[in-house]
Structure 1
Amino acid sequence: MANPVPFLEDFEGILPGSGTGWLDRLRADAQKTYQISGLPTPRTEAWKYTNLRQLARAGFVAARAGCSAEISALPEGCAALTDAYIAAFVNGCFVPSLSSLDDLPEGVEAVSLAAKLNTDAASLEGRFGDTDGLPLATLNTGLISDGLYLRLHDGVVLEKPIHLVSIGHSDGGPVSFHARHLIAMGAGTVATVVESHIGEGTYFSNGVLEISVNGGAVLNHYKLQNEGSEVFHVATNLVRLADGAVYDNFVLQVGAKLARNEIRAVLGERVECRLNGAYLACGEQHIDNTTFIDHAAPNSSSREVYKGVLDESARGVFQGKILVRQGSQKTDGHQLNKTLLLSPGTEIDTKPELEIYADDVKCSHGATTGELEEEPLFYLRARGIDPERARAMLVAAFVGEALDEMQVEGPRVAFRALVDDWLARRSKGQE
């Protein structure tokens, strides 16, 4: 099948590290694979509920360097973190003037991936993961250029969060960019990474984030997707958790025309993995959360709680699969997806799965869909609260149960404020 969008041709000649043998081969192999597969379609099981037809028709071209000069400060809509290191990107390119990484403690390396590829590509050989069966992640590999390279050496405890801010910008025709971020946590390290994805205009953000968490390390990883109404956002997160690692993840999606966040986590022994999230959509937004947890070793635990709120003609997708491999005894894995439908025109597709090849396990999954209950609405209105405010209070409580799963207070407070802002704008009819 021919490549249906001109991503590959547009990016020729602007990739850092060109001329490095292993990197050239990696890109070439990925480009060849993508040219054969093309964009996924609903005939692909993993994309059954998310159709990229509009993306294929939009005529995106590669975002060019230089547009960051038009942005002098971080736009509104980011997670409001009072004290954090900042790594800022505009259309996938690192922008030093918007970043603050100078005062990182010893043992922490946080640099532009493009700079790393141009000056020390040899150290990255073998660091990029396999994206077989993931067409858009494969496209990203074929176009590896810039992103955040974050490495914590053994034993480092990072007191302040790293705030990865991705700003999309298009003041002309539709553009695309394909950021690649690498996070490597040494043994016994502790860190919090917060992503904020914001921007206006028509653009396609196709990011890949690879995370490796070594033994005994703890990573709190929280993501906000708060982009404009003409944005296509696809993100693939590839997570490997070594023995004894702890990974706490939360994804809040409130923006974009079409958004898909996919997380694929492979768990070692005695791992704690929490994948949680909330999504709020209105108009004709389409928001897809897809997760895959691979219990590849015994004595690991996983928890998933995703809550969705859909209004007007919005559509939500939740696909969550837990795989327990043979020999992975004492696995404890649980998954729950709840969706609140505020209008008759909304739609939710939910597909929870368990695939178990061990007999001494505790695993469960569940999904519920419904409307706001009348009894608590009546209770609030009887106490003089107007109908819109009452609805907003109940929705906030519903989403708040998911937000409470976040282990770090600062990002949790920031995300809760963004949910409250979304509800306030809905109540005023400004969405």
Structure 2
Amino acid sequence: MTALVTGAAGFLHRFEGLQQRLPGARLPFVQALREQAAEAFRRQGFPTRRIEAWKYTDLRPVAEAGFDEALTAMDDSPALPPAHGAARAVFVDGRFRADLSMLDGLSYGAESLAAALERQEGRLGALARPVEQPMAALNTMLFEDGLVVTVPAGVAGGVLDLVSLGTASERPEAFHPRHLIRLEAGASLTIIETATGPAEARYLHNPVYEIEVAFGAVLTHARLQQEGARAFQLSTAYARVEKGGTYDNFTLNAGGRLVRNEIHTVLAGPAATCHMNGAQLLRDGQHADTTTFLDHAAPDCASRQTYKTVLSGRSRGVFQGKIHVHQVAQRTDGYQMNQALLLSPEAEIDSKPQLEIYADDVKCSHGATVGAIDAEQLFYLRARGIPEARARAMLVEAFLREAIEGVQDEAAREALDAAVTGWWDRQGEAA
């Protein structure tokens, strides 16, 4: 068993000890990726608030915590969230569990990264930028497993459940799954991802996604982040969308002590489309940060971003969204909106929408609003005999559903709606 580690130096020490035992250790290109990432992480360490992209999120609780290597889970049958499709890939503490997964008989390829690594040369590391993003560097040097999905041209893949379970209890653990998702021309797939863990568990879940959407393909990616109350999740996603392709992403942050959802999307071909929407439901003591970078790098592309945050108690939410329109990206249609609903005078939201435009024929807009529950709407419901707590819950759910309604896939939309319904009721508090 490795010793308990703290800070960047501890993770680097772990890498040095595990380097020859990590998946792909005998493959030169994997070793080169890991060593490059380790050097970047050694140079940068954990990002601090002096870095503009991390100005509103303090990672000291993560850097100062002691995390050990995840042990092999002893529970043969951990509780799984409800299934949304016929296919399912389950990871326990970052490691693939074939006995809990259902990947047989699919019309596309889906397997463990650890098992498929030698067949993934040219795909692993194609999009991620560990030299620029410290948490991607940490993932690259220490990933042990992940999911590899390849949907052939023209294949409709249906719905795939991607489940991550954290189980750490007495000893804090860290795991860094790497997921590679590729849709070839004209393919389609819906991924409904659920990340969860026990309320008492202390762990760091640091996933990285590399997502490629080819010509005319459609990927719906719905993420339900419901980690344990003491857990940390720091996720980084990279997506590249080619001509006529669509990437529809929705992230629901409802768990965890400190969470950051960072998405980098490039619209690389003409008429590509991206929807990056989400909601953050924050209780007392929670901190959630959504940071998006959207590159319009081709003409005639469209993007939509709607993020909504509900905050109660002493919670803090962050939204940073940047749309970069390159000079070649004429006739861009970009929209970005961030709205926050404060249910407590102690709650705080930081919002920083940004547009950087170098093309002259565009239609782009962004905005942000912050407010409390409308007193007139509350009075209207109370006057019709609805108890105050239920009336508040109804208004919160109505506020959130505007973002969820933008999800095109019915199965993904229903899963998100079920997670939102009754959230305020479950808090057992009245603002």
- Taking structure 2 as the reference length, the TM-score comes to 0.94
Please name the residue that 2:66 is paired with.
Answer: 59
Aligned counterparts, 1:178-327, within 5 A: 178-200=176-198, 201-268=201-268, 269-327=270-328
Counterpart of 1:109 in structure 2 is 109
Separation in 1, partners of 2:295, 2:76: 41
Equivalent position amino acid for 1:130 in 2: R
Residues 199-218 of structure 1 show CA distances to partners (whole Å, capped at 9, x for unaligned) of: 12000011101100000100
How has the CA–CA distance of structure 1 residues 377 and 125 changed in structure 2, closer, same or farther, with 3 Å as cutoff?
closer
- Report if the CA contact (8 A) 1:228-1:255 is conserved: yes
Deviations 1:279-327 (A, max 9, x none): 1001110000111110001110000000110000010000000000112
**What's the secondary structure of 2:421's corresponding residue?**
helix
Q: 1:23 to 1:82 in 2, by over 3 A?
A: closer
Query: 1:6 Cα deviation (Å)?
Result: 1.3
Asked whether the equivalents of residues 33 and 125 of structure 2 are also in contact (C-alpha less than 8 Å), the reply is no
1:390 match:
391
Query: What amino acid maps onto 2:148 in structure 1?
Result: Y
Answer whether contact 2:84 2:159 (CA < 8 A) is retained.
no
| Partner residue, 2:39 | 32
Matched residue, 2:147: 148
- Indicate yes or no: 2:73 matched with 1:72: no
Contact 1:81 1:414 in 2 (8 A): no
Distance in 1 between the 2:389 and 2:125 partners?
54
Deviation per CA, 1:4-27: give whole Å up to 9, x if none. 351232241431121211111111
Query: What is residue 12 of structure 2 aligned with on the other side?
Result: 8
Measure, in 2, the Cα distance between the counterparts of 1:72 and 1:5.
35
SS at match of 2:135: helix
Which residue is equivalent to 1:339?
A: 340
Secondary structure, in 3 states, of the residue corresponding to 1:130? coil
Distance 1:82 1:26 in 2: 35
**One-letter amino acid of the counterpart of residue 97, structure 2:** V
Task: Give yes or no for the alignment of 1:41 onto 2:40.
Answer: no
Question: Which position in structure 2 is the counterpart of 1:167?
Answer: 165
Distance 1:126 1:353, change over 3 A: closer
Contact 1:226–1:254 under 8 Å retained in 2: yes
Shift of 1:126: 5.9
Q: CA deviation at 1:127?
A: 3.7
Q: Which runs of 5+ in 2 are unaligned?
A: 1-5
Gaps of 5+ in 1: none
Opposite residue 353 of structure 2, the aligned amino acid is P
> How far apart in 2 are the matches of 1:421 and 1:96?
33
- The secondary structure found in structure 1 opposite 2:156 is coil
In structure 2, what is the Cα distance between the partners aligned to 1:381 and 1:149? 51
* Residue equivalent to 2:3: none
1:155 aligns to what SS in structure 2? coil
| Counterpart-to-counterpart distance in 2, 1:150 and 1:162 | 10
Given that 1:22 and 1:125 are in contact with CA atoms closer than 8 Å, whether structure 2 keeps it comes out as no
Contact 1:3/1:34, CA 8 A, preserved across alignment: no
- One-letter amino acid of the structure 1 residue matched with residue 23 of structure 2: P
Q: Report deviation, 1:430.
A: 11
> What is the CA deviation profile of residues 234-268 of structure 1, one whole-angstrom value per residue up to 9, with x for unaligned ones?
00000000111011111111000000001110002
Task: Say which SS state the counterpart of residue 166 (structure 2) adopts.
Answer: strand
Structure 2 counterpart SS, 1:60: strand
Q: 1:248 to 1:213 in 2, by over 3 A?
A: same
Q: Distance in 2 between matches of 1:128 and 1:244?
A: 19
- Using the alignment, how far apart are the partners of 2:336 and 2:196 within structure 1? 29
**Which secondary structure does the structure 1 equivalent of 2:207 belong to?**
strand
- Report if the CA contact (8 A) 1:3-1:35 is conserved: no
What does residue range 339-378 of structure 1 map to in structure 2 within 5 Å?
339-378=340-379
* Cα offsets for 1:25-58 (capped at 9, x unmatched): 1111110110110000000110000000111111
1:423 Cα deviation from its structure 2 partner: 1.9
CA distance in structure 2 between the partners assigned to 1:409 and 1:86 by the alignment = 18
The normalised TM-score by structure 1 is 0.94
Decide whether aligned partners of structure 1 residues 124 and 367 sit closer, same or farther in structure 2, where only a CA change above 3 A counts.
closer
